[in-house]
Structure 1
Amino acid sequence: MKFAITSKGDTESNIWMHKMRSYLQDFGLVYDEAQPDIVISVGGDGTLLYAFHRYSSRLDRTAFVGVHTGHLGFYADWVPDEIEELVDAIAHKTYTTVDYPLLEVMIAYEHGGHETRYLALNESTVKCVDGTFVIDVEINGRHFERFRGDGLCLATPSGSTAYNKALGGAIVHPSLQSIQLTEMASINNKVFRTIGSPLILPGHHTCVLRPVRQKDFLVTVDHLTLLHKEVRSIQYRVAKEKIRFARFRPFPFWKRVHDSFISD
């Protein structure tokens, strides 16, 4: 088996990264950053997001596992005290995989040409460069609303526990092939109205945002912030690709939610 390890970059994470690499190589596994069968993320959820984007071109051939060196993170199955157990499991056990849906982001431009495509593990947000964000929202080819406010957030089920939750969105189990649309500070009065509630769209639905006046937008894709100019539309839907997490022991989703947000 070939493996790679990504680290948060702090001293503690780097120490554990080097230890794991040495242990796994002692067991005969091959360190291969280019074509790993399994990627170990050592740090926090941001480290795993970085690893996901680095290896997004080979999601069908690479599985991920997280080790958290700080506070317990949502994507981590393991903590440093369990490193030896994890190394032994990787070296000697056949792991199962759990697939989580991803968000596809397609950005088209006013003057045609090449569209830009991204995959998000957590979410994508759209905001104006300046002024009030005004955009038409289409669902499955039909106009749904004209949104005015600070911006919109489109999240995956696994990302529903991240920024989406902070915006008042629902927590969605990742077995549901879906995306969630959540508002950021919408304007609602006698003149302007929005639905004012998060929307959960099934896997066969699409959400398209069409600019009304402004054409330049700040678009985030997980931890990346990108300026896109002369935008004609931004389409969101459940991606064909999925992320695979390597599981060496049970870690149910609702236990993960409990441990992340409720447990002391």
Structure 2
Amino acid sequence: MPERRNHLYFFYKHDEQLIEQVKPLMELAQQSGFVVVGDYRNANIIVSIGDDGSFLQAVRQTGFRNDCLYAGISTLPSHARGFYCDFHIDDVNHMVQSMKNEQIEVRRYPIIQATIDDTASFFCLNECSIRSGIIKTFVMDVFIDDLHFETFRGDGMIVATPTGSTAYNKSVNGAVVDPLLPCIQVSELASLNNNRYRTLGSSFILSGERKLTLKISPEGNHYPIIGMDNEALSIQHIEKIDIVLSDRVIKTVRLKDNSFWEKVKRTFL
């Protein structure tokens, strides 16, 4: 791995239109002293081109590396740029000037680690979700550390990072959380609450020091759908999922004048 952060890997969908848009970026990068590499393992800056979904895929498919920087370049209209893409493909001059004038900074985003049945582990930058794969109430025992907190009955649950709080989590009325807070948020999907069954009925936030354990009832829950960011896992007969805030972080390059809360205001208000 080179000592200087000047080895770039571009992650993008290789369709004809996008290939033509990326060519000037590669040329500009090389003219500015960067080395464009074809293998992400040889890069120390990984640049995603597309939208927030592309950024999530870039992070996932390059292994959630914490020894490099990630940057997002949007191909969407400026007003729909998203939360992970601070730059726009039609304004490369702004990108270069920002770098030259030191108007960028590195932001560290927390990620969560989900371990299934004490074997396979997965990282998530936005959220881990679990739902029933059939039309039937999903039943899980919810533990916070070693405390049995509740027995959940409903469609499923979302466990989100602070940056993921503005995505799937917000669509089910979860709270928007400052990414400077090391924590995870748990939000219910259509829980059953009546005289017979009871859950908390609202999202709750756990310290990054806590462990959340979801133990799945075997009755009719053999085919759960587990979402890791924007990917679904096909795993059958799951007994439990342990979810914690990872010690690993994702380091992203962003503009100093484009904070998380400025993005929240621009996107939702």
TM superposition score normalised by structure 1: 0.90
Deviations 1:83-142 (A, max 9, x none): 123145557859531101101110017xxxxx1100001011101222210110001111
What residue is the counterpart of 1:17 in the other structure? 22
Q: Which residue of 1 aligns with 2:75?
A: 69
Distance 1:248 1:149 in 2: 41
- 2:149 pairs with 1:144: yes
**Deviations 1:214-264, CA, capped at 9 Å, x for gaps:** 3432111011101222212101110111110113533211101111222xx
Q: Which residue of 2 aligns with 1:50?
A: 57
Structure 2 CA distance for partners of 1:223 and 1:254, relative to 1, 3 Å: same
Partner of 1:124: 128
Note closer, same or farther for the CA distance 1:207–1:134 as it changes in structure 2 (3 Å cut).
Answer: same
Q: Secondary structure at the match of 2:244?
A: strand
Distance in 1 (alpha carbons) for counterparts of 2:53 and 2:202: 28
CA distance in 1, matches of 2:81, 2:55: 13
2:187 match:
182
Summarize the Cα distance change of 1:67–1:75 in structure 2 as closer, same or farther, 3 Å threshold. Answer: same
Q: 1:11, CA displacement in angstroms? A: 5.3
Taking the aligned partners of 2:164 and 2:56, their CA distance within structure 1 comes to 11
- Determine if contact 2:153/2:192 at 8 Å carries over to the other structure: yes
Q: What is aligned with 2:260?
A: 253
Q: String of CA shifts for 1:8-63, please: whole Å, max 9, x gaps.
A: 4555543332211111112231112332111111111001001111222522x211
TM-score (norm 2): 0.89
| Correspondence 1:1-264 to 2 at 5 A | 1-9=6-14, 13-32=18-37, 33-34=39-40, 35-59=42-66, 61-70=67-76, 71-90=80-99, 96-108=105-117, 115-130=119-134, 131-213=136-218, 214-262=221-269
Task: Answer with 29-38 or 11-20: which moved more.
Answer: 11-20
Per-residue deviation, 1:78: 1.4
1:171-219: CA deviation from partner (whole Å, max 9, x where unpaired): 0000000000000011111101110000100100011000122343211
User: In 1, Cα distance between the equivalents of 2:43 and 2:100?
Assistant: 14
d(CA) in 2 for partners of 1:159, 1:200:
13
Distance of 1:196 and 1:9 partners within structure 2: 44
CA distance in 2 between partners of 1:159 and 1:101 (Å): 10
Q: 1:48 is matched by which residue type in structure 2?
A: F
Moved more, 76-85 or 96-105: 76-85
Structure 2 unaligned residues grouped into runs of 5+: 1-5
Determine the C-alpha separation between the residues in 2 that align with 1:226 and 1:91. 42
Give structure 1 stretches of 5+ with no counterpart. Answer: 110-114
After superposition, the CA RMSD in angstroms is: 1.9
User: Aligned partners of 1:126, 1:200: CA distance in 2, in Å?
Assistant: 17
- Paired amino acid for 1:116: A
Q: Structure 1 residues 189 and 9, CA, compared in 2 at 3 Å: closer, same or farther?
A: farther
CA deviation digits over 1:136-163, x for unaligned, max 9? 0001111011100011000000000000
Q: Aligned residues: percent identity?
A: 31
Return the offset for 1:67: 1.5
